[in-house]
Structure 1
Amino acid sequence: MAIRSELDRSNPEAFASAPVERIDIPKKAIYRLSIYHRCLQRLVENGQETVSSSALAKAAGVKPAQLRKDLAYFGQFGTRGLGYPVETLASMIRDLLGRERLQPVVLVGGGNLGSALLRYQGFQKEGFEVVAAFDAEPEAVKARGIGVPVFSEKELEERIEADGVRLAILCVPGSIAQSLANRLVSAGVSGILNFSPVVLDVPEDVVVNNVDLALELEHLSFFVR
């Protein structure tokens, strides 16, 4: 992960333009940084210039000590009694997460769930653009009124390689999920958001985030019995 070095908490402008270097950040911390970024974006929209660690932690649903630990990856900055500069911190996290420009994403599987995700308007706000969808029956997906270009799965490798796409959303039945994941990885995809109900076997340098909706509901049901 890229991160700023030589941070000067008394000079936010120098902080924002400092050079970047590579550093390893735990996967769970990256997830929390995404939540902090979303909270900071709301503060920016509301015109708030600074935020305390306790206020940001409360908005993100974490303990202040955890937030300060996560933000320590950026070095020591912020002003005691005033807090963190909202726009500067949001910019730093956005840079770390690769959101300075829209990241292209493809979606594989245009069934009910896939089509619902293709209609979702919030991806661009968070820095992502679904540039193409793939399905065994592309015409049937197009008939659902999808605005994203939909192609046959046969064109998957060609279009991913041509567009330099590195992120994919997988919404296919479990029986074909692994074979399609293999094709995605071979085409250059290194991050997969997996909605298929199977555990994918991928190389170590490929990151998979699994979203099992039935499993999540089962987990919730335990607490509402």
Structure 2
Amino acid sequence: MDENESRAPRTGLPSATVERLAIYLGVLNTLEEQGVATISSGELAAAADVNPAQLRKDLSHLGSYGIRGVGYDVQSLRFHIDQNIGSAEDWPVVIVGVGNLGRALVNHSGFLSRGFRVVALFDADPAVIGRTVEGHRIHPLTELAAVVTDPQATIAVIATPVHAAQQVADQLVAAGVGCLLNFAATGLDLPPRVTVRRVDLGSELQILAYHRLRSLADTAMASNVTVSALGD
């Protein structure tokens, strides 16, 4: 097999598999930093909070890299996942909206370790335009087309208030950016060719609250059953 062919990303991976592969990659990055050389499928599944059978099925899309009785070589598996979900590339990232969330994202250490680098910041607030955050100058949106020199390879992060998100997204798409990560708590009406991922922190917290309530209810029910049994 040609070396370039072996390194080419596999197409047609299920979306849910891609999401889990990104989680596995995060675990493997941490393990490599800690100097861990090998890990079993059970240990990796537990660290990623998935079923071991599901993990093995996900990794089967990439080929078999595990060794029976030994497990997975952390560095090798990390490399193969990198190659297949695109994080081994050097992806430029622009952040629109440099409030508290935007500034936190600029400082996010996980970007570089996954192959992403922040290249530009944008905001509509005249009070912050021209300032720098971690060495990056904050530009007005009117400079978007001039600053984003390779829009097709650029990923844009929208960290604006809800009311501004759609207009910002439209400007990004008009400039040629086709991949958006949306932190604004609203949907975006965009052409089908544009890939959008929405991160709704409020919804995630509500889901956690639901599971916490269920856990408390199950604990209370188990406690009542135990008391009832003792009474009998």
TM-score, normalised by the number of residues in structure 1: 0.83
Kindly name which structure, 1 or 2, has the bigger radius of gyration based on alpha carbons.
2
Task: Supply the distance in 1 between the matched residues of 2:165 and 2:174 (Cα, whole angstroms).
Answer: 14
Please say if residues 42 and 52 of structure 2, whose CA atoms lie closer than 8 Å, have aligned partners that are also in contact.
yes
1:206 is displaced (CA, Å) by: 2.1
Task: Supply the distance in 1 between the matched residues of 2:13 and 2:173 (Cα, whole angstroms).
Answer: 23
Please say if residues 16 and 88 of structure 1, whose CA atoms lie closer than 8 Å, have aligned partners that are also in contact.
no
| Offset from partner CA, 1:167-190 (integer Å, 9 cap, x none) | 010011222211211221222222
1:195 is displaced (CA, Å) by: 0.9
| Offset from partner CA, 1:109-147 (integer Å, 9 cap, x none) | 112221222233332122211110111125525557553
> Percent of pairs identical after alignment?
40
Task: Supply the distance in 1 between the matched residues of 2:59 and 2:81 (Cα, whole angstroms).
Answer: 9
Instruction: Count how many residue pairs are aligned between Structure 1 and Structure 2.
Output: 213
Structure 1 residues 142 and 62: alpha-carbon distance in aligned structure 2, compared to 1, 3 A threshold: farther
Indicate the residue corresponding to 1:167 in structure 2: 155
Segments of structure 1 that go 5 or more residues without pairing to the other structure are: 1-5, 7-13
Secondary structure of 2:13's counterpart equals coil
Task: Supply the distance in 1 between the matched residues of 2:52 and 2:132 (Cα, whole angstroms).
Answer: 45
Secondary structure of 2:66's counterpart equals coil
Is 1:131 matched up with 2:119?
A: yes
Indicate the residue corresponding to 1:9 in structure 2: none
Indicate the residue corresponding to 1:108 in structure 2: 96
Please say if residues 16 and 91 of structure 1, whose CA atoms lie closer than 8 Å, have aligned partners that are also in contact.
no
1:150 is displaced (CA, Å) by: 1.2
Indicate the residue corresponding to 1:200 in structure 2: 188
Secondary structure of 1:197's counterpart equals coil
RMSD, aligned α-carbons: 2.5
| Offset from partner CA, 1:7-48 (integer Å, 9 cap, x none) | xxxxxxx99983536421122211111111111122222333
Is 1:149 matched up with 2:126?
A: no
Please say if residues 17 and 58 of structure 2, whose CA atoms lie closer than 8 Å, have aligned partners that are also in contact.
yes
Indicate the residue corresponding to 2:73 in structure 1: 85
Please say if residues 93 and 119 of structure 2, whose CA atoms lie closer than 8 Å, have aligned partners that are also in contact.
yes
Give the stretch that moved more between structures: 187-196 or 159-168. Answer: 159-168
